A and B are shown apart, each in its own frame.
Chain A
Amino acid sequence: MKNRITWDFLMTRYPVFFPLVLLVLSVAINLYLQPNMFQLSTLNSNMRVFLPLILLTVGQAIVLIAGGIDISVGGIVSVVNTILATRVGLEGSSELMWQYVLISLLVGALAGAINGFFIAYLRLQPIITTYATSFLYAGFALFILPNPGGGIPSAIASVYRTSTPLSLPLAFYVIAILLLVWAYVSSTRYGKYLFAVGGKAEAAYETAVPVTLVQFSAYVISGFMAALAGIAITMLSGSGNADIGNPMTLNSITAVVIGGNAFSGGIGGVAGPILGAITLSVIQNIISFSHINTWWETLVKATIIVAALAAPGVINLFRRRRA
């Protein structure tokens, strides 16, 4: 039994297996519709669009591993975007830009700390709390920038858009760094604590794991990652829009789940969710290339996502039947 490669074995030992299958499938379809997909310029123009969601998904994945959920990430993206677009401006210097990048990261971590304080220290429900704070952050973004506008210097934006060191898209390097950092973090004691708290918080508490602090920190990380996503999307668009983060929240949660992390916490990693985020973005690509009437776009996208989410469950159902 032990040495045979079974479905269960693949699913539990290699949680990245299923998202990888999905990704290969969706890339194949995309390649059919967009044959020049792997040309550097096309690849880069795709990856730079995918990167903000990837960053956001990594933060969301860590919160889910620790047994929570963060619905406010989209709001944080919007806040960061509006801060950069209004404070730096189209004519700003690059020093000013980096200064506000730092401030944005602090703002993101602070927003995460607010979530973490409510959830870890006041013991409120994560889903309710972050739903409430998502309006707080979205409202704050609207307060900063009521109408779309502003922007960042185009020279800085083009660094993000066109950099391809060693003929590889910039996003690949960012993903590599994310995976390396996660490989380190997940093998530290703190990494074990994240899984322990998400797996069974009471048992972790009995074993003297600092449960409250670990929960708090997960939201701070998520806020920080959301700020990074906000910076990336601002550099991509070059302008400000208080609604820019809204649709990203649900995508980040979907990406994590496609990536094989359990909603109940304590299982998974970051590689799967990154693949999930890319898959989700590729699906978006497929839809725009297959010239589906825009009326149908949401419906088609949602159907594909529901099917992708249901697939492991359906496979399990058939396995049970057969048994």
Chain B
Amino acid sequence: MPESLSARNIVKRYGGVVALSDGNLDVHTGEVVALIGANGSGKSTMSKVINGVVVLDGGQLLLDNNPVHWSSPQAAKNLGIATVFQELSLIPQMTVAENIWLTREPMTAIGTVNRKVLHEKTEELLSLFRGTYKVDLHPDDPIVSLPSDEKQIIEILKAISFDPWLIILDEATASLDSRQVQRLFELVEDWKEAGKAIIFVSHRMEEIFRIADRYSVLRNGKTVGAGDMKDVSEKELVKLMIEKESVFEYIRKDSKNGENEEKPVCLEVKELQTVTLKGINFSVREGELVGIGGLRGQGQRELLHSLFGDVPYSGTVKLFGNGYKFKHPREAMQIGLALVPGDRGREGLLSIRSILDNLQLPSWPRYGFPLRIKKAKRDAEQVGESLNLKMAGLEEPVSSLSGGNAQKVVLGKWLVRKPKLFLLDDPTKGVDVGTKAEIYSLLTQLCDEGKTILFYSSDDEELIGLCDRVLVLHDGIIRTELSGPSLTKENLISASLGVSNGFHPESRTGGTL
């Protein structure tokens, strides 16, 4: 087993774009190194250089101080370097067990896959995360039937099944809930003890401080700082990443509790039921920013989608004083609703189409026949400017944008229509801190203009910092509503886990724990 891996002065170009100009990273067994940087700073490229997915243009990799060169990802894997990617490398139609052990199946004497051993080995791996699954996860479950957090867990288990000495976790926590992240971090501690090395790529500061021993910061393809975590503060790290310190302070200065009570009710939901939701009741006043919290997959997505007419439901929904029951998102759009979906690659964007097409997709009917392209371009440019969208031009494909900028397009395509009620499904997932801060100030600004926002986030701090009120979903009901002084991280987390801690006497105890 190797003891250390170093990347020295790495250069990597994609065509004319320089992704890395001077990347450096050292990692030794028994430690966790956090690889930090804003979106587009070269973190992903750095991981791909280390695991052999891309061939480097300059610099060198040293394994135990000897230069190495990967001819393929397989070569790196054979030397014990495993990667947990965000883009899933799982085959949806195959089962959990088949996916984890693909190409390394235990065989019988007659050349067939030994299902019994396959099961045992898979159960063993699955037990590492036991207790964090929503339903009991079985080795024979097809991947396609799993929620995204459990797919991510399978991806992690697949990487460990190689018994690597170096594990790269590339945004592996982005789709996990807090309980699963907790479990992963316990495992990371075990791996450290067992003499494995871990490279941890994440946007979440709090996680980096919890788990990492050392850090390495990338900015515009250059390593701009590295050292021990204990010698650095959150602010110093952010400063290294973005050069501007102020953007991270997104806490809303004046929580406007009480001020909104005069305003008319904009959304009223009574006994809303779907497959996962078991009777949701709440109302939102105009200009409010209401958060939806809770563990991943408790029905938040379904709530937003049913309000948007995308998922059938029973119950009554009143919007702007009138009762509606949408059969199609078109009807929801007409009275001023907008939905920013959680999976922007699949539901939010047409990746091969241009930025202009994406921004104007919901609005083309307004530009007449034949389309007044010039006006459409002007409007799109305006929205782009107001969002501080970094792009080469409106005609560029939206896939050329970094994650944060792509998310701005998803938001921007609704801004063109000027809706009154925004339904946001985890809009800051996998977005860098700089863009997050911009999105936060945009949301606050929209509320000040009298728009209403219903906002689901998997980031607890975000909900606490940004929202007037937070509705915590658990097991398909609103378990708790937090606002004002009760809106604290402790309360939010315990409510998410279904634990009652006394602040809300009528909430029922007993959850999935």
Q: How far is the CB of A319 from chain B (nearest CB, A)?
A: 11
The residues of A that contact B260 with a CB separation of less than 8 Å are none
B148 to nearest A CB, angstroms? 15
Q: A199-B91, A266-B91, A323-B275 are in contact. Are A206 and B73 (CB under 8 A)?
A: yes
Q: Are A195 and B275 in contact (CB under 8 A)?
A: no
- Taking CB atoms, residues of chain B closer than 8 Å to A196 are 91, 94, 98, 102
B98: chain A residues at CB < 8 Å are 192, 195-196
B91 and A208 form a contact (CB under 8 A) = no
A188 lies within 8 A of chain B by Cβ: yes
Q: A266 to B142, alpha carbons, bound, how many Å? A: 12
B90 within 8 A of A: yes
How many Å lie between the Cα of A12 and that of B142 in the bound state?
9
| B111 within 8 Å of A (CB atoms) | yes
Tell me, yes or no, whether B445 is within 8 Å of chain A by CB.
no
**Are the CB atoms of A199 and B92 closer together than 8 Å?**
yes
Kindly state whether residue A207 has any CB partner on chain B within 8 Å: yes
Q: Mark A79-116, 1 if CB is under 8 A from B, else 0.
A: 00000000000000000000000000000000000000
Residues of B within 8 A of A195 (CB): 91, 93-94, 98
> Does B102 contact A266, Cβ atoms closer than 8 Å?
no
CB under 8 Å from chain B, chain A span 255-314? 262, 266-267
What is the size, in residues, of chain A's interface with B at 8 Å between Cβ atoms?
25
If the complex has contacts A189-B105, A209-B103, A323-B312, are A199 and B93 also in contact, measured as CB distance less than 8 A? Answer: yes
Most chain A beta-carbon neighbours within 10 Å: one of B93, B105, B112, B275: B93
Distance between B189 CB and nearest chain A CB, rounded to angstroms? 28
Question: B-facing mask of A198-209, CB < 8 A → 1, else 0?
Answer: 111001101111
* Alpha-carbon distance between A36 and B102 when the two chains are bound, in angstroms: 50
Q: Do B93 and A206 touch (CB < 8 A)?
A: no
When A196-B91, A267-B93 are in contact, do A188 and B73 touch as well, CB less than 8 Å? no
Asked if B74 CB lies within 8 Å of chain A CBs, one says: yes
Q: Is the CB of B74 within 8 A of A208?
A: yes
Shortest CB-to-CB span from A65 to chain B, Å, is 10
Known A-B contacts A208-B103, A209-B102; A203 and B91 likewise in contact (beta carbons under 8 Å): yes
B90 A203 Cβ-Cβ under 8 A: yes
A204 and B102 in contact, given A188-B111, A189-B113, A267-B93 (Cβ under 8 angstroms): yes
A187 within 8 A of B: yes
Task: Report the minimum CB–CB distance from B91 to chain A (whole Å).
Answer: 4
Question: Which residues on the B side are within 8 Å of A318 (C-beta)?
Answer: none
* B107 is an interface residue with CB less than 8 A from chain A: yes
How many angstroms between the C-alpha atoms of A218 and B275 in the bound complex?
41
Cα–Cα distance between A204 and B91 once the two chains are bound (Å): 7
Task: List, in ascending order, chain B residues with CB within 8 A of A267's CB.
Answer: 93
Residue of A nearest to B85 (CB): A206
Which residues of A from 16 to 62 have beta carbons under 8 Å from B? none
Known contacts A12-B142, A188-B113, A323-B275, A207 near B93 by CB under 8 Å: no
Is B119 positioned at the interface, with any CB of A under 8 Å from its CB?
no
Interface residues of A in 195-226 (CB under 8 A from B): 195-196, 198-200, 203-204, 206-209
Known: A207-B102, A209-B102, A209-B103. A192 touches B88 (CB 8 A): no
Main secondary structure of the interface of B (DSSP, over half): loop
> Which A residues touch B112, using CB under 8 A?
184, 187-188
Of residues 106 through 147 on chain B, the ones whose CB sits less than 8 Å from some CB of chain A are 107, 111-113, 115, 135, 142, 145
Task: For A266, list chain B residues within 8 Å (CB).
Answer: 91-94
- Residues of A contacting B105 with CB < 8 Å? 189, 192
Please tell me if B77 contacts chain A, counting CB pairs below 8 Å: yes
B89 interfacial contact with A, CB 8 Å: yes
Cβ A187 vs Cβ B113 within 8 A: yes
- In angstroms, how far is the closest chain A Cβ from the Cβ of B345? 14
Residue among B77, B88, B90, B113 making CB contact with A208, cutoff 8 Å: B77
Residue of B nearest to A202 (CB): B89
A189 to chain B, nearest CB (A): 6
Q: Beyond A12-B142, A206-B73, A323-B312, is A192–B89 a contact (Cβ under 8 Å)?
A: no
Q: Which residues of B contact A192 (CB under 8 A)?
A: 94, 98, 102, 105, 113
Docked Cα-Cα span, A198 to B312, in Å, equals 33
Q: Which residues of A contact B91 (CB under 8 A)?
A: 195-196, 199-200, 203-204, 266
Q: Which residues of A contact B73 (CB under 8 A)?
A: 206, 208
- Which A residues are CB-close (under 8 A) to B135? 1-2
Cβ of B97 to closest chain A Cβ, rounded Å? 10
Report the separation of the CA atoms of residues A2 and B74 in the bound assembly, to the nearest whole angstrom: 38
Would you call A189 and B107 a contact (CB within 8 A)?
A: yes
* Closest chain B CB from A96 CB (angstroms): 36
Q: With a CB–CB cut-off of 8 A, which chain B residues contact A208? A: 73-74, 77, 103
Please name all residues of chain A whose beta carbon is closer than 8 Å to the beta carbon of B312 when the two chains form the complex. 320, 323
| A-chain residues with CB within 8 Å of residue B90 when the two chains form the complex | 200, 203
**Shortest Cβ distance from A81 into chain B, in angstroms?**
35
Q: List chain B residues, Cβ under 8 A from A12.
A: 142, 145
Distance in angstroms between the alpha carbons of A198 and B103 in the assembled complex: 15
From known contacts A192-B113, A208-B74, A323-B275, infer whether A200 and B107 are also in contact, taking CB-CB under 8 Å.
no
Chain A residue contacts of B275, Cβ below 8 A: 323
- Kindly list chain B residues whose C-beta atoms are within 8 Å of the C-beta of A323: 275, 312
Q: Would you give the shortest CB distance from B90 to chain A, in whole angstroms? A: 6
Chain A residues lying within 8 Å of B113, measured Cβ to Cβ, are 187-189, 191-192
Contacts of A1 in B (CB 8 A): 135
A199 B94 Cβ-Cβ under 8 A: yes
List A contacts of B88 (CB < 8 A): 203
Whether A200 and B103, one on each chain, are in contact in the complex, defined by CB atoms closer than 8 angstroms, is: no
Contacts of B74 in A (CB 8 A): 208
Query: Judging by beta carbons under 8 Å apart, are B107 and A203 in contact?
Result: no
Task: Write the chain B residue with the least CB distance to A204.
Answer: B91
CB distance from B313 to the nearest CB of A (A): 10
Residues of B close to A198: CB separation below 8 A: 93
CB of B47, distance to nearest CB on chain A (Å): 14
| CB-defined contacts of A188 to chain B, threshold 8 Å | 111-113
A188 to B93, CA, bound (A): 17
Contact at B94–A207, with CB atoms within 8 Å?
no
Taking a contact as CB atoms under 8 Å apart, the answer to whether A203 and B89 are in contact is yes
B102 contacts across to A, CB distance below 8 A = 192, 196, 204, 207, 209
What is the CA–CA distance of A191 and B107 in the complex, to the nearest angstrom? 13
The complex places the Cα of A118 from the Cα of B97 at a distance, in Å, of 33
Determine the residue in chain A with the shortest Cβ distance to B274.
A323
For the complex with contacts A187-B115, A199-B93, 5 further pairs of A-B residues with Cβ separation under 8 Å are A12-B142, A187-B112, A196-B91, A200-B91, A203-B91
A-B contacts, 8 listed (Cβ < 8 Å): A2-B135, A187-B113, A189-B105, A189-B107, A199-B94, A203-B88, A203-B91, A206-B73
Closest 10 CB pairs of A and B: A199-B91, A266-B93, A187-B112, A199-B93, A206-B89, A203-B89, A200-B91, A207-B102, A196-B91, A208-B74
Footprint of B on A, CB under 8 Å? 1-2, 12, 184, 187-189, 191-192, 195-196, 198-200, 203-204, 206-209, 262, 266-267, 320, 323
